[in-house]
Amino acid sequence: MREGAFITLTNGFKDKLFRLAKRLLVSNEEAEDATQEVLLKLWKNKSKMAEYKNVEAFAMTMTKNYCYDKLKAKETGNLKIVHSNYKDEQPSLQRQVEARDSLDWVGKIMDNLPEQQRMIIQLRDIEQYNNPEIAEMLGINETAVRVALSRGRKKIREALLKKHNYGVV
């Protein structure tokens, strides 16, 4: 496969990989690195590409595994850094406006979900994959996908309700 063909093929799902990585790793930079890493790995093994049933699903699985590795490495390290998007303690006016932005709340609520639920909601509600596809990507069965999806959505609903009533998460 030539470079050009590879790039057109991967451009179709490159952003999806990035968004999944960002959902799991939170940091923008780390998500960028993860995307690059996965695509380069795919490029190196391009000779095997024809054997894959679904390159996109395969790439998503690779991204998931890569991110899990990264998260695990972070956990075992003595210094625990949650993510590197450090924010100014004294927010500018723009930041304050942004913080009030209720869409940000949803993002924050999502970041508090367990990794698997977070990932499944990302794949289903944002990327609009269907359950069989998600099950294949994550290597779990469809029932588990549906259950995790329902649990995650309900958790978000609860948190949204709290926030709506008391203004806190």
Partner 1 sequence: MELSNIEKLLEKYFEGETTISEEKELKVYFTRETVPAHLERYKDLFQFFSQESTITATKDLKLNTRRKTRYAWVGVAASVALIAGIFLTNQPTKPDKNLGTYEDPEIALQETKKILNMVSQYMNEGKQELVYLKEFENTKNKFIK
From the CB of 77, what's the least distance to partner 1, in Å? 25
Closer residue to partner 1 (CB): 1 or 91: 1
Site residues for partner 1, 24-83, by CB under 8 A, read: 31-32, 35-36, 39-40, 43-44
The count of chain residues that interact with partner 1, using the rule CB under 8 A, is: 42
Q: What distance in Å separates the CA atoms of residue 114 and residue 151, rounded to the nearest whole number?
A: 10
What are the tokens at 69? 């590795």
From the CB of 143, what's the least distance to partner 1, in Å? 10
From the CB of 89, what's the least distance to partner 1, in Å? 26
- From the list 48-56, 73-81, 86-94, 153-161, the region that binds partner 1 by CB under 8 A is 153-161
Instruction: State the residue for tokens 């590879």.
Output: 6
Q: Which residues bind partner 1 (CB under 8 A)?
A: 3, 6-7, 10, 14-15, 17-19, 22, 31-32, 35-36, 39-40, 43-44, 102-103, 105-107, 122, 124-128, 130, 146-147, 149-150, 153-154, 156-157, 160-161, 163-164
